[in-house]
Structure 1
Amino acid sequence: MQRWVGRVALVTGASVGIGAKLSEDLVKAGMTVVGCARNIEKIQKASEDLKSSNGSLYAIKCDLTKEDEILAMFNEIKLKFGGVDVCINNAGLAHAETLLTGSTEKWRNMLEVNVIGLSVCTREAVQSMRDRNVDDGHIIHVNSMSGKRIITSPAGHFYSASKFAVTALTEGLRHELRDLKSHIRVSSISPGVVETEFAERMTNTDMAAKLYGSMKCLETADISAAIIYALSAPPHVQVHDILMRPTEQVS
């Protein structure tokens, strides 16, 4: 991680879960981290707690379903820090909506955050890098095992579709960057069950507790370590996709 010391990383969905842990680890590794979320109080608190670290954490309020807020965020990053060297598209959500009875509004919300918001952030981050002749930047998508296979539960099928899109976007981006003869790398991190607030938001507290109690789940530190591994690879090595699941997870 030494070559990333002092450089700028954007982490979306940085207030809780994987994003919060990753932001902390990147700051401790010496990076300037911009953490964005709709509610930034926890990021601001983490920034205070990390003041003695090698790097720093800066919070920006941003709703990823609103393109004008994303563009304003990138403009603020440009004015304060020059631009983005690493963009980690961590924000994502799921609603328990089946294909046959699901809410159009909830479907649209999943697409707006998991696919469109991710794509807008990626486009703007790559443009920021190219504007400054940054040829060793890195785009990382926090994907899911649900972007690789279809689970039996109908409540997860539309969410899976949004994550299959992320899988396609990762490979498409690799091709487009290669066509430009760019050395900006792209990686996808695809975890199985991680013990965070994710399942509670998708279903309810009791169902989430039952899921998390059924096995030794992945922890946020495990996902952060995988992302840092991808970032730490030599510039000629693209860690394209890391699939990881709890040892006890069935699918």
Structure 2
Amino acid sequence: MERWVGRVALVTGASVGIGAAITRALVRQGMKVVGCARNVQQIEDLKKELKSEKGQLIPIKCDITNEEEILSMFGRIQSELGGVDVCINNAGLAHCAPLLSGSTADWKNMLDVNVLGLCICTREAFQQMQKNKVDDGHIFLINSMSGHRVIPSANGHFYSATKYAVSGLLEGIRNELQQLKSHIRVTAISPGMARTEFEIRNMKSREEGERIYMPNISAWRPPT
């Protein structure tokens, strides 16, 4: 991690869960981390928690479903921090929206966050790295095990389809980077079940969300 000290990382969906854990780790390693989410207050609280650490956290309010907000955020990163070196596409969500009875609005929301938001951030990060001659940059896609197999639960089928899209996007991005002879790297990480706010938001109920985590609760440890 030494070569990344003082350099700039963007983490989308940084307010809770895996995004917050990634943010903590990178700030502690000395990076300047732009943490974005719709609920920026939670990132402000995280900034206070990390104020004595080696790196720095810069909270930015950004709705990943809104392209104008994404472009504005990248403009700030360029003007205030000199551009991004690492982009971690962590933002993602699920709704209980089966393929045969789900809400179109829920489907669109999952596509906007899990696929289009990821693509826009990746495009903008790459173009900013290229403009700034950052040829050792790194783009991460936080995928899911649901991007590799479909579980027998109708509530998760459309979500799984969006994550299969991420698996395909990984190969497409890698192919385009190779064609451009770029040394910028792209990596996808596919977590399994992680005890975060994800299922609580998905089920729109803390009680129902916690029930999903119960079989895994003995193995879970909070991020430090």
> Under TM normalisation by the shorter chain, which class is it?
over 0.9
Does the CA contact (< 8 Å) of 1:29 and 1:55 recur in 2? Answer: yes
Measured in 2, the distance between the counterparts of 1:172 and 1:46 equals: 34
Q: 1:9 to 1:211 in 2, by over 3 A?
A: same
Measured in 2, the distance between the counterparts of 1:64 and 1:143 equals: 16
C-alpha RMSD of matched pairs (Å): 1.3
Match of 2:118 in 1: 118
Match of 2:74 in 1: 74
SS of the equivalent of 1:121 reads helix
Match of 1:45 in 2: 45
* Residue ranges of structure 2 left out of the alignment (5+ in a row): none
Measured in 2, the distance between the counterparts of 1:116 and 1:219 equals: 32
Does the CA contact (< 8 Å) of 1:86 and 1:138 recur in 2? Answer: yes
Does the CA contact (< 8 Å) of 1:192 and 1:218 recur in 2? Answer: no
Superposed displacement of residue 205, structure 1 = 2.2
Deviations 1:4-32 (A, max 9, x none): 00000000000111111111110000000
Match of 1:178 in 2: 178
Match of 1:97 in 2: 97
Match of 1:236 in 2: none
Does the CA contact (< 8 Å) of 1:136 and 1:184 recur in 2? Answer: yes
Deviations 1:163-217 (A, max 9, x none): 0000111111001001100011111110111000100111132222222111245
State the percentage of identical aligned residues. 58
Superposed displacement of residue 219, structure 1 = 5.2
Deviations 1:128-164 (A, max 9, x none): 1000111110000111000000000000000000000
Q: 1:16 to 1:108 in 2, by over 3 A?
A: same
Deviations 1:211-248 (A, max 9, x none): 211124555749xxxxxxxxxxxxxxxxxxxxxxxxxx
Match of 2:213 in 1: 212
TM norm structure 1: 0.86
Measured in 1, the distance between the counterparts of 2:182 and 2:219 equals: 37
Deviations 1:32-70 (A, max 9, x none): 000000011111121122121111000000001110000
Match of 2:167 in 1: 167
Counting matched residue pairs gives: 222
Measured in 1, the distance between the counterparts of 2:219 and 2:187 equals: 23
TM norm structure 2: 0.96
Does the CA contact (< 8 Å) of 1:194 and 1:217 recur in 2? Answer: no
Q: 1:36 to 1:219 in 2, by over 3 A?
A: farther
Match of 2:144 in 1: 144
Match of 1:127 in 2: 127
SS of the equivalent of 1:36 reads strand
Match of 1:226 in 2: none
Measured in 2, the distance between the counterparts of 1:110 and 1:36 equals: 18
SS of the equivalent of 1:214 reads helix
Q: 1:115 to 1:219 in 2, by over 3 A?
A: farther
Match of 1:8 in 2: 8
Does the CA contact (< 8 Å) of 1:196 and 1:220 recur in 2? Answer: no
Q: 1:181 to 1:221 in 2, by over 3 A?
A: farther
Q: Which amino acid in 1 is paired with 2:139?
A: I
